[in-house]
Amino acid sequence: MMTMSMQAQFQSNTSVRLGLGAAEAASIPRRSPIVKGHPTHKPEARKQLRLKAVVGENGRKRFTTLCKAVSSVEPQTDVQPLNIAEDVTQLIGKTPMVYLNNVVKGCVANIAAKLEIMEPCCSVKDRIGYSMITDAEAKGAISPGKSILVEPTSGNTGIGLAFIAAAKGYKLILTMPASMSLERRVLLRAFGAELVLTEAAKGMKGAVQKAEEILNKTPNAYMLQQFDNPANPKVHYETTGPEIWEDTKGKVDILVAGIGTGGTVTGVGRYLKGKNPNIKISSDEAVEMAKQLALQEGLMVGISSGAAAAAAIEVAKRSGNSGKLIAVIFPSFGERYLSTVLFQSIREECEKMQPEA
């Protein structure tokens, strides 16, 4: 039996240890040690002690789970909340925002970048990979160990699907134009995906045709169809949009995002428009700006992020937007583009380097 002072001390310690607010710490019950004879000593009762993720006062995920891989092992101490994700999929989302400070000369509006480069696999496509797979699972269309996922990709969606398929136990077959960067091929294979390259000249249309061909001749195959799947914009409406709204405290005036599959700008835009009908949505496509973001802001981003930044800066220079807050989405990490034109001059410079005597 804990006294009031003991309970207060427990809540204080819990708050400090987990970074939780006082209200969150107070909601966590104190548990008795697990000993023989105690109801929680039974295996089925111990399983009930596994708790799900909670959200801290700062909106970031706090995890209170026991590792399911060893859930049959009796804990040596009290079962206390831990800030550890149960698996990698719980780390998707809640990416931070940061102001651009040095590439914004001449701007009369503030620009804040949503860093999707900080997703588990460094791309905004992590969100739709998870959303499409879990949506299909919920509908009973696929199941791990039985279904074979088939999808055409230009790279980032495929990578998002590949790491989730690996974590969940799915076989994944991807078709991709041969023109895509070597880094993307390596990453896809590293996650165990089967990769089929298609003629570069045929673009994504060729990759889609090959994927459909594989789908038709493969038993238990299922295509997620990223370009037409409602789960694509849905996840941005339910997560990315609310995150931007919450992080800006509802002060965002303009959203800038690349088109891609259309899911990001559609889902986020629909959410923000629902909150503020006066919000403007802009989409556009740049290599030089991506280089400058690395050199001047310390942000290693891909070509599409450079394009989005260039568009945001153009919008931020318009006199009518003076004092406004512009949110721009940086969709992917620059390291994925090392073999492309983005880093060609630096790559050539590094290849010519010689050791000093």
Phi, psi values for residue 202, rounded to 5°: -85, -10
Residue 220 structure tokens: 């238990």
- Quick one: which of 189, 190, 181, 158 has its CA closest to 337? 181
Rounded CA-CA distance 99/111 in Å is 6
CB-based contacts of 176, cutoff 8 Å, min separation 6 = 152, 153, 154, 155, 158, 184, 185, 188, 195, 196, 197, 198, 207
CB 114 within 8 A of CB 244: yes
Find the catalytic residue in 125, 168, 171, 291: 125
By residue count, the chain amounts to 357
Strand order in the sheet with 171-177: 194-198, 171-177, 148-152, 221-223
Residue 105 bears catalytic tag: no
Residue 304 bears catalytic tag: yes
CA 98 vs CA 107, 126, 274, 327: distances in Å: 16, 20, 24, 10
Find the catalytic residue in 123, 147, 154, 304: 304
Place of tokens 């492309």: 340
Q: How many helices (H) and strands (E) does the chain have?
A: 13, 11
Rounded CA-CA distance 278/268 in Å is 14
Catalytic residue set: 125, 304
